[in-house]
Amino acid sequence: MQPQSKILIVDDYPANVEILKKIFGSHYELATAASGDEALVEARDFRPDIILLDVMMPGMDGYETCRQLRATPDLAHTKILMVSAKARLEERLQGYDAGADDYIIKPFDPHELRAKVNVYAQLKSLQEVDRLKSNILSLLNHELRTPLNSVLGPLQLLRRKRDLSPLKQQELLETAYHSVTNLNELIEKTMLLVELKAGLRDLRLMSSRLESIVRQSIDDVTPQALERDIDIQLDAADVSAIHADRALLGRVVVTLLENAIRFSPASESVRVCVGEAGANVCLTVQDRGKGIEPDILPSLFEGLVTTDSLHHRDGQGLNLAIASQIMRRHGGRIEVESQVGAGSMFTLRLPVEPA
């Protein structure tokens, strides 16, 4: 199942918003904002593929909103279409100078607008595929060297030195085996991320309870927690059911738990909470580790472009990117709050299962 492209509608006039909802609601995932300030916040959370941006709004106008959107790294590749009754050439040029990809004049023809948005959605998808290819090549070039050398080195010794003791031969074979295993995991994670981003991985959705998935995930990571004397404290409220792929969502929870265990000081505790907030079921995983540097946070869930060695070690950057994509495919999102020296808190938000 191909995931729907996401459109953020920014307009302070409710009637205009409703018109755009009718045009795009059946084929796109929609979010709305009624001001420039609200659009900046919503865009960072919603991560739209396309923004339909009104020019005339109270407070921050569409031009300044567009400039600030373009200055946000996470939204650099989002397609911005300005929609306005201002039709003079200098006004259209002002929109392009602010960073808009297109300028649509009101009143517009719904069929033409839909066709334009479809084109930009396809263009963004193609550009994402190109970036994905480039990032994969860069990642593999960077990440494959160490495990390949760890395989080739022991095998070369085994070929050249026939008089090695059985114990030494076994050590070299174990080293090569573990390196091949790590290499295989890296390739599998990369392929899963590609499949999720491209919409090639179908979800097996069923009515589920988040608490049940969390408890199973805690059981899965308990051996790792015991090794470091980490206490996992679960606080689970009675919450609504969700529509979820249990295996994929369990993978997300395990990723967060493993990260918390890895980066927590030995003999510390990790707090896990399941609750409900509005139309969402929520999970928080909080550790007391050293936290994440502020400059890393914006790209933390972009596994194919993360350059930080600490959070990319052992495929962790890929794990978080995979988690982000799984949450998006579930109609949810993943968030992080972190303070250097005080720890990190990851939050999952999933929509309540429709009645």
* pLDDT tens digit sequence for 82-103: 998 887 898 889 999 999 999 9
In whole angstroms, what is the distance from residue 325 CA to residue 294 CA?
Answer: 22
CATH of domain 206-351: 3.30.565.10
Give pLDDT, residue 272.
97
Q: Shortest CA distance to 296 belongs to which of 313, 314, 317?
A: 317
Band (pLDDT 50/70/90 cuts) for residue 3 is low
Q: Shortest CA distance to 117 belongs to which of 82, 147, 90, 152?
A: 82
Tokens of 201: 């991985």
What is the rounded average pLDDT of the residues 183-203?
Answer: 82
Q: What percent of the chain has pLDDT over 70?
A: 90
Taking a C-beta distance cutoff of 8 angstroms, is the pair 240, 281 a contact?
Answer: yes
Give pLDDT, residue 74.
75
The domain spans of the chain are 6-126, 144-198, 206-351
Give pLDDT, residue 142.
65
In the predicted model, is pLDDT for residue 175 greater than 60?
A: yes
Please, which contacts does 100-105 make with residues 24 or more away whose CB atoms are closer than 8 Å?
100/53, 100/66
Range in 18-32, 83-97, 140-154, 297-311 the model is least confident about: 297-311
Give pLDDT, residue 148.
77
Give pLDDT, residue 313.
44
Transcribe 273-300 into DSSP letters: EEEEETTEEEEEEE--S----TTTGGGT
Give pLDDT, residue 226.
96
Give pLDDT, residue 202.
85
Taking a C-beta distance cutoff of 8 angstroms, is the pair 66, 38 a contact?
Answer: no
Sequence-distant (6+) residues with CB within 8 A of 188 are none
Whether this prediction's pTM lies above 0.75 is answered by no
Q: Shortest CA distance to 3 belongs to which of 330, 248, 247, 353?
A: 330
In the predicted model, is pLDDT for residue 124 greater than 50?
A: yes
In whole angstroms, what is the distance from residue 211 CA to residue 217 CA?
Answer: 10
pLDDT digits (tens, 9 = 90+) for 156-168: 888 888 788 889 8
Question: Could you name the CATH architecture of 6-126?
Answer: 3-Layer(aba) Sandwich (3.40)
Which value, to the nearest 10 degrees, does the dihedral of the CA atoms of residues 17, 22, 28, 29 take?
Answer: 50
Cα dihedral sign for 339, 341, 343, 344?
A: positive
Average per-residue pLDDT for the chain: 86
pLDDT digits (tens, 9 = 90+) for 222-265: 999 999 999 999 999 889 999 999 999 999 999 999 999 999 99
Give pLDDT, residue 307.
42
Give pLDDT, residue 312.
41
Give pLDDT, residue 210.
95
CA 282 to chain centroid, in Å, comes to 16
Give pLDDT, residue 157.
87
pLDDT digits (tens, 9 = 90+) for 266-324: 999 999 999 999 889 999 999 999 999 888 887 788 765 444 433 344 445 789 989 99
Give pLDDT, residue 281.
96
pLDDT digits (tens, 9 = 90+) for 43-76: 988 889 899 999 999 889 999 999 999 988 778 7
pLDDT digits (tens, 9 = 90+) for 212-227: 999 999 999 999 999 9
